[in-house]
Structure 1
Amino acid sequence: MTRAIKVRHVLAVLVTTLVLAPPSARADAAPALGPFALAPTPTWTGTWEGAASGTVPALPGATIRNVVHTSVGGSAARIRISNRLGTKPLQLGAVTVALQEPGAPSSPKAVAGSMRTATFGGAGTVTIPAGQDLVTDPVYLPIPADANLLVSVHTPTDSGPATYHRSAIQANFVAPAGDRTTEESGTAYTVSIGNWYYVTGVDVLGTSAAGSVVALGDSITDGTGSSFSANHRWPDRLADRLKDLPSNRRLGVLNAGISGNRLLLEGNGPSALDRLDADALSRTGVRVVILMEGINDIKGTPEQTDPDAIEDAYRSLVNRAHSRGIRVIGATLTPYGGHSAYTQARETVRQEVNTVVRTGGLFDAVVDFDAVVRDPADRSRILPAYDPGDHLHFNDAGMKAMADSIDLATLAP
């Protein structure tokens, strides 16, 4: 075969493959490589996450309007609906996606004309088996970065315990009766709640971001202490910094924090060891994980008195991430002197764990949150300017200080 014929043959194969492939397959495909490379195909990137933290009684016949905040934007979205912690098949009557009215973070009102119906394999209704997640088909709607989306879910029947994220620190809404998923005005949403129901992730298509970073942690990462409906958690503040980077270094930010979560034991949500794959490694476009877990093991019941056990868990998490080509940044555990759970013995364990994080060589990089937020006059306490009053969590200023201390070069080198 001559060189000219070979060239024509290769091009014909490439064109035929792209034409026959369904749009969803082309969107997920890696860019073509080699001497006959075509323009890069759009890729999916994670823009938001709310990790499943437990279950609550279902709201049969109701519509839940979840308000979620994007970190990066794109030309379309796909939504992860979870029945991972449920015990019965979850029947979905309808799911929609819209943009929330700008400047109204505590309103269920949608931007006029932005409402889109999500489908599952082309169908508007679907049943998700217990223990599983399902991702919608692409929903074609321009998705801005740093914006609120309304993801409305109608559950027509009682499908058993609802998988949810308990501490959203965000106003979400319930229309008590009927399918109100397509209602733009939001007037039927007469009940306000502080939880996310069923929705645990959003990806965007065609963003200029180079991938995503997952913040895996407990209530400090979840945002306890920050302002309600303001998106001032430290991962949100990190996303604010990242959006100013060149596109080849910009990353979506996924918040996998769960209030009360532990590294070693199940409690509020599965342990970090058990949920690593579902909440971090399997998420879309993940390049790096920031790990801040362990304080609830030290101060909880039963308490973990052996820092070696925490070190072993860190090593396991890092090895599992590395096997997937994902880097891990270790974060030191922050002070909690003055909190009701504080004891000197527990403080000694915290300090020993932080020494391992800083000098143990376990992580690809380290962010020293402890050094940033502690009071120089008493290293067991956080600075009063960062303390919302419980001596454990952080107010908006403390959250920003934490995010500002992260070296962005360690995220997207």
Structure 2
Amino acid sequence: MPRRQGYALLIALVAGTAALAAAVAFGTSFMAARRTAPLGPDAHAASRNQAAPVNSTGSWVATWTAAPVSAEPDSVHGYPGRTIRNIVHTSIGGDAARITLSNLFGAAPLVVDRAAVNTRRVTFRGLPHVTVAPGGQVVSDPVVVPVAPDAELVVSLRTVDASGPVTQHPNTHQTSYLADEHGTWSTTRWRYLTAVDVHNDAAPGAIVVIGDSLTAGTGSTTDADHRWPDVLSDRLRHRFGVANVGIAGNRVLRDSPLSSRGVKKLGGSSATHRFERDVLSVAGAKTVVISLGINDVQQAPQEADARRVTAGLRALADRARDRGLRVVGATLTPFQGYPSWTPGRNAVRLAVNKEIRSGRVFDSFVDFDRAVRDPYAPNRILPAYDSGDHLHFNDAGYRTLGHAVDLDEVDGTPRSDMF
């Protein structure tokens, strides 16, 4: 549907007075469940991961996620007195929502004195404010607000004190906003917000997609929601939550190095190190799609041994299977013409793909390489899919990746014959 997002959703929500009145008892049961929940950060993680029903039917399922990447440069004091409006695109809908705020890269407590999902105020253990410890995260109370699938959601936060650096996800390909009494500024960063979960009576669960810039959508059109996980969500008709935890520059085995100012560069923590936080704790997780490895092959320092890359991928798959999740992997796409390409690095890519296609790494795989390569120059991206740098895709390329996924392979049933 054309620009399904926008602020029209806000008008519809404000007009939903009758729906709100009918939901009062529902909201009360939510709050009772929160009051009896155990305290502490581990309880927050457990509640998100288990997707436990809060009444007789329905479960919590992630409709949107963003992996925390780094401390925002030049944000040592944070944004005291300003309102951060994160604009996010939903996958699945629900009758209530909760949010996760992260202060992973903060050096001081983060105090949020007001939070809202669209126009509905959000509380934290019954209070309108919350303090997030440095390195910590919090999950809000449920807020009874109808969340539409395949739509924009506005999650607003107001911070009080000078508290930084700001935990961010940059290069979002989505316009968000920062506002104060002097005006409003646009941004392409998501700040502090790392998840929106919805309560849904019929959702089978969430598909968590961990990847690099090709999953994050580098090269796609801003505000068009043309990342390949968005395409997948459309094909699934928004029956599943689709949680995109792609980070541009991410690798399987190595963390991003630190810059001279001590701020992490693009890439964030390796998939090996962030897998528990960014994948296994996602609410309602049922299937994991792993689309990683190209940066291990082509970024300095490069992995010259394909066996190290495939061993890392296999270890991620094993961790997911241990939690009862199905694991789908993706082959590594061509990059000849990109400055880092060499015949030797391409040989490593091909060796990784051979092992993925063997069936010895994942429960099943999607052949992204075959879907986008030029049949006359198979080490290159087909020109019609190339964003221009010979590594990343344009909208047509991401649409092709999204359509390459076999929907039957993401139904969440683990294989019983793996090793």
Q: 2:388: which partner in 1?
A: 389
1:43 aligns with 2:59: yes
TM value normalised by structure 2: 0.82
1:148 aligns with 2:149: no
**Separation in 2, partners of 1:138, 1:196:** 21
Q: 2:71: which partner in 1?
A: 55
8 A Cα contact 2:58 2:202, kept in partner: no
8 A Cα contact 2:70 2:167, kept in partner: yes
Q: 1:106: which partner in 2?
A: none
Q: Tell me the CA shift for residue 40 of structure 1.
A: 3.9
Q: 1:7: which partner in 2?
A: none
Q: Tell me the CA shift for residue 41 of structure 1.
A: 2.2
Q: Tell me the CA shift for residue 361 of structure 1.
A: 1.5
Q: Residues 193 and 19 from structure 1, CA distance in 2 versus in 1: closer, same or farther, beyond 3 angstroms?
A: closer
Deviates more, 1:343-352 or 1:59-68: 59-68
**Separation in 2, partners of 1:167, 1:408:** 28
Which residue, 106, 112, 117 being the options, matches 1:97?
A: 117
User: Hey, which bits of structure 1, 4+ residues long, moved more than 3 A?
Assistant: 18-21, 23-32
**Partner secondary structure for residue 140 of structure 1:** coil
Aligned ranges 1:76-155 → 2 under 5 Å: 76-98=96-118, 115-155=119-159
Q: 1:305: which partner in 2?
A: 304
* AA at the equivalent of 2:122: A
Aligned ranges 1:339-358 → 2 under 5 Å: 339-358=338-357
8 A Cα contact 1:81 1:198, kept in partner: yes
Q: Deviations over 1:176-222 (max 9, x none)?
A: 34xxxxxxxxxx75211110000010000124210000110000000
* AA at the equivalent of 2:142: P
**Separation in 1, partners of 2:31, 2:97:** 20
Q: 1:69: which partner in 2?
A: 89
**Partner secondary structure for residue 22 of structure 1:** helix
8 A Cα contact 1:223 1:233, kept in partner: yes
8 A Cα contact 2:101 2:193, kept in partner: yes
1:262 aligns with 2:266: no
1:167 aligns with 2:177: no
Q: Deviations over 1:366-405 (max 9, x none)?
A: 0000000000011110011111111111111111111111
Q: Deviations over 1:75-96 (max 9, x none)?
A: 0110111112222211112111
**Separation in 1, partners of 2:378, 2:107:** 45
**Separation in 1, partners of 2:310, 2:58:** 40
Q: 1:218: which partner in 2?
A: 212
Q: Residues 29 and 411 from structure 1, CA distance in 2 versus in 1: closer, same or farther, beyond 3 angstroms?
A: closer
- Aligned pairs, number: 359
**Separation in 2, partners of 1:405, 1:360:** 17
Q: Tell me the CA shift for residue 240 of structure 1.
A: 0.2
8 A Cα contact 1:215 1:289, kept in partner: yes
**Separation in 2, partners of 1:83, 1:75:** 27
Q: Tell me the CA shift for residue 61 of structure 1.
A: 2.0
8 A Cα contact 1:72 1:145, kept in partner: yes
Which residue, 232, 251, 266 being the options, matches 2:240?
A: 251
* AA at the equivalent of 2:189: N
Q: Residues 189 and 397 from structure 1, CA distance in 2 versus in 1: closer, same or farther, beyond 3 angstroms?
A: farther
Q: Tell me the CA shift for residue 20 of structure 1.
A: 12
8 A Cα contact 1:263 1:272, kept in partner: yes
8 A Cα contact 2:111 2:159, kept in partner: yes
Q: Residues 167 and 20 from structure 1, CA distance in 2 versus in 1: closer, same or farther, beyond 3 angstroms?
A: closer
8 A Cα contact 1:73 1:207, kept in partner: no
Aligned ranges 1:165-244 → 2 under 5 Å: 165-177=169-181, 190-243=184-237
* AA at the equivalent of 1:142: P
CA RMSD of aligned residues (A): 2.1
Q: Tell me the CA shift for residue 311 of structure 1.
A: 1.3
The structure number with the bigger radius of gyration is 1
**Separation in 2, partners of 1:20, 1:402:** 39
8 A Cα contact 1:176 1:191, kept in partner: no
**Partner secondary structure for residue 163 of structure 2:** coil
**Separation in 2, partners of 1:120, 1:21:** 10
Q: Tell me the CA shift for residue 262 of structure 1.
A: 1.1
**Partner secondary structure for residue 92 of structure 2:** coil
Q: Which structure 1 segments of 5+ residues have no match?
A: 1-17, 33-38, 99-114, 178-187, 245-249
8 A Cα contact 1:44 1:207, kept in partner: no
8 A Cα contact 2:31 2:142, kept in partner: no
